[in-house]
Structure 1
Amino acid sequence: MLEIKNLSAGYGKVQVLHGVSISVPKGKVVTLIGSNGAGKTTTMRAVSGMIAPTAGEISLNGKRIEGLESFEIARRGLAHSPEGRRVFATMTVTDNLRLGAFPRYTGSRPKGDVEADLARAMDLFPRLKERREQLAGTLSGGEQQMLAMARATMLQPDVMLLDEPSMGLAPILVAEVFRIIERLKEQGVTMLLVEQFAAAALGVADYGYVLENGRISLHGPADKLRNDPAVKAAYLGGGGH
């Protein structure tokens, strides 16, 4: 479904990723964990076309996507819920969601029933339903996070990238975000999840990769990683930070 092979990327002369390889099979949730500065967000940005890789291959459904523009990658079926939410502040919740379906209106993705999917997104995120006519900029941080996730589902993506969905949220909202990830998983949505709360991420994922200094240091089934002494010591103590 999504294959990343020997990916290198960075910013200007600063190389952040050094030969990263990750496989995200269809219908599975794969998580990428690591400390701050390990290169998790850089990986997501390189996959979704926000930055251009300097080396390596990225394939979506067997077709190479590295080097394409973000909008072209979205048309191919990859949705990105970025770190820091990035909602359209001066548009309503409903219009933000419709924008997520934009490639379906233009014919570059199968259209399907956008209205039914809009209703489904509102059911999945009840807080958004209550605030559907509100401007996105007036929502709380947690609500904006849910909007960013819901907007990504509106593409009806083949693969969804979730970058730090729980960042800056109160514990009750973190639990809500993971409940929604669990529901998306039940619906068969393929996801690559980057998350500070390693314990929660490994709890919802099928498979995990540990990123250290821009390199994959360890990978395996999520339950195995959760019980790995080195992973426990580095990432699962003190709330998973």
Structure 2
Amino acid sequence: MLSIQNLHAAYGKVEVLHGISLEVPKGKVVTLIGSNGAGKTTTMRAISGMLKPKQGNVRFDGKDVTGMDSFRIARAGLAHSPEGRRVFSTMSVKDNLLLGAFPRFTRSRPRGDINTDLEKALELFPRLKERQDQLAGTLSGGEQQMLAMARAIMLNPEVVLLDEPSMGLAPILVDEVFRIISRLKERGVTMLLVEQFAAAALNVADYGYVLENGRISVHGPAESLKNDPAVKAAYLGGGHQH
């Protein structure tokens, strides 16, 4: 479904990704874990077109989308929920969600039933349902994070990129975010998840990749990574466990 081969990416002269390859099969949840600065967000940005890769390619649903504009990649059905809660603060929660479906209104994505999907999104995120008429800027940080996720899903995408969905959230909201990811998985939504809580990410994922200094150091079924002594020592100590 999503295939990344030998991807190199840089900011100016500083190369951050040194030839990474990964696969996200249809209907699966794949997680990318690694310490801060390993290149996780850069990987997401290079896939979604926010950053043009220097080398390598990104294939999505059989099409080469390497270096294409973000909006074209989104139209093809790839939704990116970026880190740091990018929401339209002067618009209501509901309008933010409808904006996520914009390519469907313009027919550049299959339209489907947008109102039904809006209901489904609000049902998945009960906190947003209660606040659908509020301005997004008045939501708490955790609620804005949920709104960014819900908006990505409103594209009715083939693949969702979730970049640090639990970043800066209180533990109770982290649990809720992972519960929502599990429910999306049950619905067959294909996801690539970048996450600081490695244990929680590996619990929900089918397959995992560990990124170290811009290279994939180890990868395998999530279950085997959870039991890998090196992964355990580096990423699964203390922290937030499920």
For structure 2, the residue ranges without an aligned partner over 5 or more in a row are none
- 1:6 corresponds to which residue? 6
Question: Per-residue deviation at 1:221?
Answer: 0.1
Query: Within 2, Cα distance between the matches of 1:238 and 1:43?
Result: 26
Question: Per-residue deviation at 1:214?
Answer: 0.1
Q: Identity over the aligned pairs, expressed in percent?
A: 77
Q: Deviations over 1:17-47 (max 9, x none)?
A: 0000010000000000000000000000000
Q: State TM-score, norm by structure 2.
A: 0.99
Question: Per-residue deviation at 1:97?
Answer: 0.2
Instruction: Please tell me the residue identity of whatever aligns with 1:169.
Output: L
Is 1:146 the counterpart of 2:146 in the alignment? yes
8 Å CA contact retained: 1:196, 1:240: no
For structure 1, the residue ranges without an aligned partner over 5 or more in a row are none
Query: Within 1, Cα distance between the matches of 2:165 and 2:16?
Result: 22
- 1:224 corresponds to which residue? 224
- 1:76 corresponds to which residue? 76
Instruction: Please tell me the residue identity of whatever aligns with 1:215.
Output: R
- 2:203 corresponds to which residue? 203
RMSD of aligned Cα (Å) = 0.8
> SS where residue 239 of structure 2 aligns?
helix
Instruction: Please tell me the residue identity of whatever aligns with 2:206.
Output: D
Query: Within 2, Cα distance between the matches of 1:223 and 1:148?
Result: 29
Query: Within 2, Cα distance between the matches of 1:192 and 1:84?
Result: 17
Q: Deviations over 1:100-124 (max 9, x none)?
A: 0000000100000000000000000
Instruction: Please tell me the residue identity of whatever aligns with 1:112.
Output: G
Q: Deviations over 1:105-158 (max 9, x none)?
A: 001000000000000000000000000000001000110011000000000000
Q: State TM-score, norm by structure 1.
A: 0.99
Moved over 3 A (4+): none
Is 1:89 the counterpart of 2:89 in the alignment? yes
Question: Per-residue deviation at 1:10?
Answer: 1.4
